[in-house]
Structure 1
Amino acid sequence: MKNFCKNLWILGILCTLWACFFTSCSESVDADGHPILPPDSSRPIVHKLYPNDLAKNDSAAVNLARGIALVVHPGASYSLSFDIDTTQPAPELQLFRTYDLKNSKNQVGTVRVRTLSPTIVGNRYVYSFVCEENKMSIWFTTLGVDGEYYKGNVENISFQGLGSYSDHFSINLIVVGSMVNTLDGKNIDELSSFMLKLFREKYYGVTIDTLYVRYAQNHPTLGAYYPADQPWVAGVSSEDLFVSELTGWPEEGLSNALNIVLVHSIGENDVMGFSRLFSGVLGAGNESSVVIGEYVKKSSNEFELLSSDIIAMTAVHETGHFFGLRHTSTTRRDLNQTMTLSDGTPVVVGDFSNIEDGLTDTPFCEYILKSGLYKQGESPEGHARERGTYLAKSSIYSCPDLDNIMFPVTVDELDDASFTKQQMEIIRSSLMIFPH
């Protein structure tokens, strides 16, 4: 049996953001007479960089001068760099904090937070800064020379982040609604013990202190909304796919844990679990959870009960996305990510340069892309793990990255799937950037 992970990306923070400019950003100069160059308001901000992603991100590079989004975290140190274009003067990098506008759906305002001149290291411009926000934030960029957008080429872009938080974390397994034993007969306590053991084995480069189990019906303020005798279907039982209000459990040790929400099933056919790529938040926050199903909904509207191994490995895989890992081999769905603008127009945000994850120790399987896996039409941002039988088993077994946890097609028989050294470095760096 083969299981699939497809891109459903549901990145709420960046969804349908238009660059709108008010307060100081509506002025052409600041109080010191320095030119302010806000993001180009005639175009939507659709491309982003998140720390330590080694994919090419060519679309972000091309749009850096007129505005992209950076994901930043409190107290973390960052450097944004790219190759020098010797035909153009060195540009300044301006960074803008974003904020929601009252009574303006899908629009944000911006306030400039700093202007940076580059340091030249070898043949690259390097812009270094420390984030002084009090929570995860989205900053917009511009590159300029004398108040005009930079006209040079931006190539081989890199966005590196370094945090000082602990490389330990705990897991809060939140059980929502009615549950039965898994296909192989494990109850919740047995499943949670198995899951903790598996996480500690697979996440060998960091420390998982413990795994808590909490039941939604026992939440001190929200319990009445989650009856224990009714199956909870993510995306159907409530609009919030991530059941975000249950994150940040108000109890010592749990408020900053990784939230894994176990539901009866997920409302879309063949989807076993989902997470936001580089979620950025441990504890409370919108879309800050990994969601997994005990059952998977089939196209026939029947529900297939899953084994403890599939449930736990789905959680391990989706948590890899949570900490910033891409698939080792890109699917068509990965490249067809879209967002919808405020006027209803879909815009492709998938970067076709990101066919590979950029890591040198994760082989790439060209067959996955050529096969047409997830060749369906445009899909919104997010990462979901899907169960299906679309590809020839013999061809899948020829893929060199088959035994990697982030391979988009997981084969049940391969229980020894693992992360590589470079993948664990990304996981650890992300963990130390996330406040906890």
Structure 2
Amino acid sequence: MHDIKRIRENPAAFDIALARRGVADASAPILAADSSLRAIQTELQAALARRNETSRAIGIAKAQKDNATADALLAEVALLKENIPGLEAAEREATAALEPLLAILPNIAADDVPEGEDETGNIVVHTHGTLPDFDFAPLEHDFVAAKLGYDPEAAAKIAGTRFAVLRGPLARLHRALGQYMIDIQTEEHGYSETAVPLLVHEHAAFGTGQLPKFEEDLFKTTDGRYLIPTAEVSLTNLVRDQILDEESLPIRLTALTPCFRSEAGSAGRDTRGLIRQHQFEKVELVAITTADQAEAEHERMTRAAETILERLGLPYRRMLLCTGDMGFTAQKTYDLEVWLPGQGAYREISSISNCGDFQGRRMAARTRKRGEKGTTGFVHTLNGSGLAVGRTLVAVIENYQQPDGSVRIPQVLHNYMGGITVLTPA
């Protein structure tokens, strides 16, 4: 959410900033709606002040036995009481007209974010690892996994397309990956493991920016709740409507949860395999910080995600996303892209975003110095994947596949696999 005061003070700067995100002349409708709201508020405040002033004057007139004045003032109060509800209703309507104009606008990109319309404008920050050299033609993960326990047909009978059933050691490898990730993030990187609801109210999805703009991407229940598309929604909303002491920040949280996405608008993309599913598991990282901490926390969180890829021996690259490829709430985003030899391409496995105070405003989550009762500021929030479990499974299968169709298990997972070091085709 954007600060209306800043828009009033410098609408030209706001328009220039939003133009980088592909939104033209953003301030004009906002300022028009804001002007209408402020005019109504001024009239309402004057009416309320006059009512209070007149009520006091009635008491004075009666004390002085000035019945004529008291009667005239009583008539004025009656008229004010008749008009005030209409002004209050008009204020609610004007507020309801302004808020959606602010709510649908994306965050302003940081100054060091490159301009671009789509992924072609992204910049490689660095690469890590050596691409595997196979003496055979590597296959895409779904062809390999089909002989290891991946059963999309069984899933389709139960739930339809873009779901998966994993069986036997392959299912265990999937579980091992999630467990390994959450252990590293909690034991080495200081994130606090948190079990969170998978269903959230509308205001929670609004707070982290999924609503109202991306409602079609969410699964909604008959009682009006939403299945989380990522644990970011539940974790970040843990601080909504709070005022936090600056000394308590940063707060670092993590959760391993199922995630649910309708994948609206993605028809034809990654329809095979485990890349783009309606249901998947992910280790989410969330940090609640002050403005001064946020940039360093962004680097720290990105390294926490990179560590998993490095320990698993998976080649990857870090990308700085351009203005046209960033998420709605992001101020700045790094994508981690893992090498998939079966596809012969790097594919996204994690996005780590600094959202500034954008979500803090939407959640009314504030911070102030301990012991002070004065001005508060909004918290800054960050979130990222550390990592997406299904996509990591894809990367392990493709990078560790062998010519006989088996898949070696990365060394760091051996203790999680109960002695299994190789997945062997049935």
TM-score (norm 2): 0.26
Which has the higher Rg, Structure 1 or Structure 2?
2
More strand by share: 1
